[in-house]
Amino acid sequence: MKLLFLGNSHTFVHFVPDRVVKLCETLGVEAEAVMLTHPGMGLDYHLKQHQTKYNVMRGKYDAIVLQHNAHPFPGKEQLIASGEALAALIPDDRKIFLYMTWSEKNNRAGQAIMSESYEALAEKLGAAVCPVGRIWWQAADAHPDEELYYSDGEHSSVLGASLAASVIARTILGLDVNAEVCYEDAKKLEADESILQ
17 part of a folded domain = yes
Cα torsion through 154, 159, 19, 136, rounded to 10: -60
In a domain, 132, yes or no: yes
Residue 113, φ and ψ in degrees, nearest 5: -70, -35
Domain presence at residue 75: yes
DSSP 65: E
Domain count, the chain: 1
What's the CATH number where 95 sits?
Answer: 3.40.50.1110
CA nearest neighbour of 190 among 12, 17, 55, 19:
19
DSSP 8-class letter at 149 = B
Q: What mean pLDDT is predicted for residues 130-156? A: 98
Q: How far is CA 173 from CA 31, 39, 126, 135, in A?
A: 11, 28, 17, 17
Span 64-111, pLDDT tens digits: 999 999 999 999 999 999 999 999 999 999 999 999 999 999 999 999
pLDDT tens digits along 14-55: 999 999 999 999 999 999 999 999 999 999 999 999 999 999
- 197 is a domain residue: no
**Domain-located, residue 196:** no
For the chain, give the mean pLDDT.
Answer: 97
Peptide bond into 72 cis (omega under 30): yes
Q: What's the domain range around 30?
A: 2-191
pTM above 0.85, yes or no: yes
Note whether residue 185 is domain-resident: yes
Confidence tier at 197 by pLDDT (50, 70, 90) = confident
Answer whether residue 115 is part of any domain: yes
